């Protein structure tokens, strides 16, 4: 467990810190507008990644027959990657035809989306490793690839001073590292692909569809301010928002270290009807995330803006309220994500999807008003509103399910 937690921590740090590190290099060697372009391209690439991932990872890890069904998981991933590429291509064509994106921005967004497709393909293997109790192997593979591609991208920025060349170099290095790492780590598991079962494949596609909707909308909600800025404001504001968002993700990062290694345990507790333990675990983890949020808010408001101004070579001292909003919103977002993990173990996919749809529809109607009246501060305020709404929306049925099922079990034992 310690080895799993360690490598999960390392991979989590690299994943959460990748965008922030790249933005540091962009802010030093390229114009501020390029930082804005990269920030939105990374956010859009994460949406595409979630479509390709199809909400399968947690489902796969908590599936006791995942090894037998691995061929189905693999073919499903190839299909969803294809769908994702079609989706981002269509979106970029739409934005280009509306003259909101120029060809430079289209290329960067598309290449970053392809980079995330490398992540998506690898993820189905990492899910298998985690299901087999080797989260440490999954963490090593992910960490090695992300670290190497980040170094390549940042090095290319320094050498070429060209963002397009740099993201292409990162994509190619990511593909190469993935081939090397999977060829080395997959054979020892001796998993036979077997034959594709069409019936199980279709069933898997149907069962994970609500999870996909939930996962995609979760990322959409987490990046709502960026999409709002992309549609209604400009690249400079997008860059500044990206700089401010960096320390806020420390909350998600630190919290993920705590509950990510226990995903399988959550599934086991639910399946084994250990409801009292699951209730206790839920309350403890929520309290820990809240404590982390408060600590990060205190530290961030004291030293955050001077440090960020120095790191990104930009004066950010007038954005203390926006920074506070982002810290609070990210804490609420992380709590809602933790509740989603538990609801997934309960197989409440439809409830998750419904919650995110409700939040997205709400955001769609209020974001134009907030952007027009309050600018970037309005975008940050939207982040708090939506994530508070989601946290409550997920907690209430989650708690009712645990308590209700526990009471039913105790009644049967009388």
Range of the domain at 208: 1-222
Q: Are 237 and 206 members of one domain?
A: no
What size, in residues, is the chain?
414
Last residue of a domain, one of 222, 238, 256: 222
Q: Which residues, including other chains, have CB under 8 Å from residue 49's CB and lie 6 or more apart?
A: 84, 113, 116, 117, 119, 120, 219
Q: Which of 222, 241, 264 is the last residue of a domain?
A: 222
Q: Are 174 and 120 in contact (CB under 8 A)?
A: no
Residues 269 and 206 in one domain: no
Distinct helix (H) and strand (E) counts, the chain: 16, 0
Last residue in a domain, options 222, 242, 261:
222
pLDDT truncated to tens, each residue of the chain (414 aa)? 567 777 877 887 888 788 889 999 999 999 999 999 999 999 999 999 999 999 888 778 777 665 557 888 888 999 999 999 999 999 999 999 998 999 999 999 999 999 999 999 999 988 888 887 788 888 899 999 999 999 999 999 999 999 999 999 999 999 999 999 998 888 766 666 666 678 888 888 888 888 888 788 878 887 888 888 898 888 888 999 988 887 776 666 666 666 666 777 787 778 777 778 888 888 888 898 889 889 888 888 888 889 889 888 888 888 889 989 988 988 898 888 888 888 888 878 788 888 888 888 888 888 888 888 888 889 889 989 999 999 999 988 888 877 766 555 554 554
End-to-end CA distance of the chain: 37
Q: How far apart are CA 32 and CA 314, in angstroms?
A: 9
In angstroms, the CA 149 to CA 147 distance is: 6
Check: CB of residue 258 under 8 Å from CB of residue 336.
Answer: no
Q: How many CA atoms lie within 13 A of 118 on its CB side?
A: 24
Per the CB < 8 A criterion, the answer to whether 52 and 215 are in contact is: no
Both 228 and 152 in one domain: the answer is no
User: What is the C-alpha to C-alpha distance for residues 54 and 391, in angstroms, rounded to an integer?
Assistant: 22
CB half-sphere exposure, 290, CA atoms < 13 A: 8
Residue 98, classed as helix, strand or coil, is coil
Is there a single domain that holds both residue 40 and residue 177?
Answer: yes
Angstrom distances, CA of residue 211 to CA of 214, 252, 382: 5, 20, 24
Tokens standing for 363? 């955001």
Tokens, residue 256: 């993920």
Whether 153 and 26 map to the same domain: the answer is yes
Inter-CA distances, 261 with 1, 315, 331, 352, Å: 8, 39, 19, 21
- Based on the fold, state whether residues 186 and 48 are members of the same structural domain: yes
194, two tokens: 């077997």
CA angle at 323 for the pair 322 and 326, rounded to the nearest 5°:
85
**How much is the pTM?**
0.82
d(CA 170, CA 153): 5
Domain identity same for 211 and 240: no
Rounded distance, CA 252 to CA 271, Å? 27
Tell me: do 310 and 386 sit in the same domain. yes
Q: Which residues contact 296 (CB under 8 A, 6 or more apart)?
A: 247, 248, 250, 251, 254, 327, 331
Residues 153, 234: one domain? no
Name the helix (H) or strand (E) containing 331: helix 320-345
What does 210-244 look like in DSSP terms, one character per residue?
HHHHHHHHHHHHHTHHHHHHHHHS-HHHHHHHHHH
CA–CA distance, 88 with 281 (Å, rounded to integer): 39
User: Rounded to whole angstroms, how far apart are CA atoms 138 and 258?
Assistant: 17
pLDDT score at 285: 85
CA distance 348 to 189: 31
CA distance 364 to 220: 11
How many structural domains is the chain composed of? 2
Residue 414's pLDDT is: 46
Question: Do 213 and 231 belong together in one domain?
Answer: no
- Which residue has tokens 């920025």? 157
Could you tell me if 100 and 154 lie in one domain?
Answer: yes
Q: What is the 3-state secondary structure (H, E, C) of 245-307?
A: HHHHHHHHHHHHHHHHHHHHHHHHHHHCCCHHHHHHHHHHHHHHHHHHHHHHHHHHHHHHHHH
210 and 119 together in one domain: yes
What is the model's pLDDT at position 368?
A: 85
């Amino acid at each position: 467990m310690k080895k799993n937690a360690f490598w999960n921590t390392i991979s989590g740090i690299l994943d959460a810190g990748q965008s922030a590190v790249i933005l540091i290099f962009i802010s030093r060697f390229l114009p501020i507008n390029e930082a804005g372009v990269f920030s939105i391209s990374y956010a859009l690439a994460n949406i595409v990644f979630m479509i390709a991932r199809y909400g399968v990872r947690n489902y796969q890890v908590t599936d006791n027959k995942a090894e037998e069904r691995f061929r189905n998981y693999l073919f499903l991933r190839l299909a969803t990657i294809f769908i994702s590429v079609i989706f981002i291509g269509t979106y970029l064509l739409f934005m280009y035809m509306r003259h909101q994106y120029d060809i430079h921005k289209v290329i960067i967004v598309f290449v970053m989306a392809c980079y995330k497709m490398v992540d998506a393909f690898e993820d189905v293997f990492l899910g298998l490793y985690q299901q087999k109790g080797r989260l440490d192997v999954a963490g090593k593979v992910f960490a090695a690839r992300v670290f190497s591609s980040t170094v390549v991208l940042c090095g290319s920025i320094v050498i070429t001073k060209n963002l397009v060349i740099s993201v292409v170099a990162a994509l190619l290095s990511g593909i190469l590292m993935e081939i090397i790492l999977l060829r080395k780590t997959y054979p020892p598991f001796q998993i036979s692909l077997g034959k594709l079962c069409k019936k199980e494949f279709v069933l898997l596609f149907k069962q994970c569809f609500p999870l996909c909707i939930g996962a995609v909308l979760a990322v959409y909600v987490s990046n709502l301010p960026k999409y709002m800025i992309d549609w209604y404001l400009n690249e400079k504001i997008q860059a500044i928002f990206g700089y401010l968002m960096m320390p806020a993700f420390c909350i998600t990062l630190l919290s993920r270290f705590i509950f990510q290694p226990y995903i399988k345990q959550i599934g086991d507790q639910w399946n084994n009807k250990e409801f009292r333990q699951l209730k206790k675990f839920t309350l403890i983890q929520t309290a820990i995330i809240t404590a982390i949020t408060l600590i990060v808010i205190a530290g961030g408001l004291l030293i955050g803006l001077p440090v960020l101004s120095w790191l990104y070579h930009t004066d950010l001292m007038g954005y203390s309220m926006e920074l506070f909003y982002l810290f609070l919103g990210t804490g609420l977002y992380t709590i809602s994500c933790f509740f989603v993990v538990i609801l997934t173990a309960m197989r409440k996919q439809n409830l998750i999807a419904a919650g995110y749809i409700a939040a997205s529809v709400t955001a769609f109607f209020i974001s134009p008003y907030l952007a027009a009246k309050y600018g970037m501060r309005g975008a940050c305020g939207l982040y708090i509103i939506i994530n508070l709404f989601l946290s409550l929306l997920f907690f209430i049925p989650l708690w009712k399910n645990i308590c209700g099922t526990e009471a039913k079990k105790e009644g049967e034992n009388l």
